[in-house]
Structure 1
C-alpha cells in the first residue's frame, strides 16, 4: 500500500523472546489464553490470530528491512531484549521507541543512549500539551510526542492537538504523532492542522486520503 512506517507493541515471553503483540495476554484475539510474560515462546507460537502465528520482533524487522518501525515497550521485561534485537538487526536508525511507562523509557535510553530515537514520555506529553510554559523551561526528553487528539474531562472532550500546540512543539524541533485515528474527517482535519504522523487501524482510508492529497 506504499507505507514506509508501521507500528507495533512488544512483550517478552518467559524465555526472553520478543513478540510483536498489543495485549499482555493471548485471550482477547486468540483461542488460547495466558499472560505472555509467563509463557515460553514455543507456547505463544501455538496461538494464532486469523490463522497467522504471532510474530517475533526479529521476524518483523527481517520481513520489512527498509521500513521504519514505531515500537511501544509494553512491559519491563521487553527492554533488554529490544535493545539486543535492534543491535542484532542494525535497526537502531529506523525505529522510534515509545512507552506509556516513563521508567521503561528511562531504562531503555540508559541502554541505548542517543543511538535510538524515542518518544516523549507521558508526563512530557502532558507538559507540552497542557503546560507549554513548563515544557519550555523543562523540555522533556524524546523527539516525538505521540498522543490522542483529545481527552475526555468531566464528560467533555478537551482538545490536546491544536494549531498553537503544534507550533510550539515544532519550534522545539519535535514532531507530533496522533493515535488512533480511524475516521476520514479526523484524518483530514489533523493533516490540515499540520501533524507529522497519524497512527491508524484504517490503513486503507488513510492511504486514500494521502493519495488524494498527493502525499
Structure 2
C-alpha cells in the first residue's frame, strides 16, 4: 500500500503522489480523510494545514474554497476524495477516518461512487469506523481500531477462538506497526491467530527492503510504505509482482 501516495519530494496525499504510485503499478493507495466546514471530503493527514502546506488553519474551520488556496510543499493542491475516486476508478483505497466530521461525508462519498468493494475503512477509533459502516448500504471492508487491536495482542493468546470471532465480527484486517513500544506485535503467533480468524495483517510503515523481505517471509498480507519503488523491487525479486 502506497502510504499517502508515493513522493520523494514531500508531496504526501497529493494527486501527484497518487499518480506516481499508480504509475509504478501499485493498486492499493493508503490515505486519510478530513472534512471542511462546508462539508467537502479531503485527502489530508493532519487536522491543520500548517505542517505540509504554505497555509495555516484547521481544516474543520475552513471552507473548501479556502483550503483550495493551500499548496502541499508549495506546489500541489489538496485533493478531494471525489478527485481520487474518479481519476482512479480501479484503485483500492485504504481510508483512515481522522475525525468525527468525516463519518457522514465519507459514507456519503462511498455511496456516491458505489465504491464499497474497493474501500477499506480504518481508524484508531473503533467507534468512529463503525459509525461509518452503519451508514453504508452494503458490506465494506474495515480494519480494527486501537482498542480491538490491543485486546487481540494482549488477550488473543488466551481467549477462545469463538469469543475472538464474536469480538472481531466486523474486522477484515489488523493494520499495525511491528511493535508498540516494548510490545512486539508482529510475531508468528499473532499472524497465526489472525489468519485462523480469516483476518489479514498489514504492517506500517516499512521503508527498508530487508525489513520488507523479513515480514513477507513471516507471512504478512500487506505492507504500507513510503517507498513503493523499493517494495516493487522486493516483490519483483521474489516473483510476487503481478
Which whole-Å CA distance do the structure 1 matches of 2:47 and 2:176 have between them? 21
By relative contact order (CA 8 Å, sep 6+), the higher-ranking structure is: 2
2:39 matched to 1:16? yes
Q: Which secondary structure state, in structure 1, belongs to the residue aligned with residue 93 of structure 2?
A: strand
Alignment length (residue pairs): 211
2:181 matched to 1:152? yes
Alignment of 1:1-215 (within 5 A): 1-50=24-73, 51-112=75-136, 115-132=139-156, 133-134=158-159, 136=161, 137-138=163-164, 139-140=167-168, 141-153=170-182, 158-215=183-240
CA 1:73–1:176: 2 relative to 1, 3 Å: same
Residues 111, 136 of structure 2: 8 Å contact kept:
no
The alpha carbon displacement at 1:118 in A equals 1.0
Which whole-Å CA distance do the structure 1 matches of 2:65 and 2:159 have between them? 47
Which whole-Å CA distance do the structure 1 matches of 2:96 and 2:223 have between them? 15
Any unmatched runs of 5+ in structure 2?
Answer: 1-23
The alpha carbon displacement at 1:113 in A equals 6.2
Any unmatched runs of 5+ in structure 1?
Answer: none
The alpha carbon displacement at 1:135 in A equals 7.1
CA 1:200–1:120: 2 relative to 1, 3 Å: same
Which whole-Å CA distance do the structure 2 matches of 1:17 and 1:135 have between them? 44
Any idea what the Cα deviations from partners look like across 1:84-142, whole Å, max 9, x if unmatched? Answer: 11111111110100001122112112212652111112111112222113373243231
Residues 24, 35 of structure 1: 8 Å contact kept:
yes
Which whole-Å CA distance do the structure 1 matches of 2:77 and 2:101 have between them? 21
Residues 129, 161 of structure 1: 8 Å contact kept:
no
Which whole-Å CA distance do the structure 1 matches of 2:138 and 2:187 have between them? 29
Q: Which secondary structure state, in structure 2, belongs to the residue aligned with residue 8 of structure 1?
A: strand
